[in-house]
Structure 1
């Protein structure tokens, strides 16, 4: 069971855009430049996994599921700034997580974790 976000989707998109633009690597995106239009909604965990397992995304491409957002920090790479609600707390490479069959469990733990747990990386 996920903890409900205190924000609606439109608010989150604005917050995530600001967080991404403050990130050193993401603000280097120029083709295209990073903004909230680069954040694509995934309605299911399967959609999110299929999106994140691809490695040809441009710098600044992002995907979100519920109150989690992942923004690519390396052009064509697998290094995702991880944001929950209004805070960034981690950089995750998903290829090995997905290969090991641990993707769904990781996302469920992230959704359940408190802000303090996320910031301490105890999820």
Structure 2
């Protein structure tokens, strides 16, 4: 039998995986992801992504290792990459995005201060917004100003 718990906070998920020594078939559901331990007392998590009513299996992940060896930020980037990716990207193992944490924060946390985003990100967003507003392409161009 499988035993699942739901975790809704990424810090709580990190703490969960950091504890270690999990029984086989213990599982965690986090947003549209599910993780099921594959090794009794171990840290190999069968990783699945929800695709409508179905679950797509796509990875085997060692989270305790990622947390211990690479740190909190690396763990968050890995999980956010999985969340932002489509089921097809996950299945093709083409889901990792080094900027996933920042993208997740920008999309899901309206309180993210503008200054936390890089200057290049802010400039790109401003160009896109101006182009959309003016019905223009993304290519910058200058317009002559009329002189009276």
TM above 0.5: yes
Where in structure 2 are there 5+ consecutive unaligned residues?
A: 96-148
- Supply the RMSD in Å over aligned alpha carbons: 1.0
Task: Report what 1:75 is aligned to.
Answer: 40
Runs of 4+ in 1 over 3 A off after TM superposition: none
The structure showing larger relative contact order (alpha-carbon pairs under 8 Å, at least 6 residues apart) is 1
Task: Report what 1:60 is aligned to.
Answer: 25
Where in structure 1 are there 5+ consecutive unaligned residues?
A: 1-33
Task: Report what 2:49 is aligned to.
Answer: 84
User: Once the 2 structures are TM-superposed, how far is the Cα of residue 54 of structure 1 from its aligned partner?
Assistant: 2.1
Task: Report what 1:110 is aligned to.
Answer: 82
Structure that is richer in helix per residue: 2
Asked if 1:120 is matched to 2:120, the reply is no
Counterparts of 2:37 and 2:11, CA distance in 1? 18
- Secondary structure at the residue paired with 1:64? strand
Q: Could you tell me the TM-score, scaled by structure 1's length?
A: 0.68
Aligned length in residues:
88
Show CA shifts across 1:16-52 (max 9, x none). xxxxxxxxxxxxxxxxxx23xx110112001111111
Counterparts of 2:87 and 2:8, CA distance in 1? 23
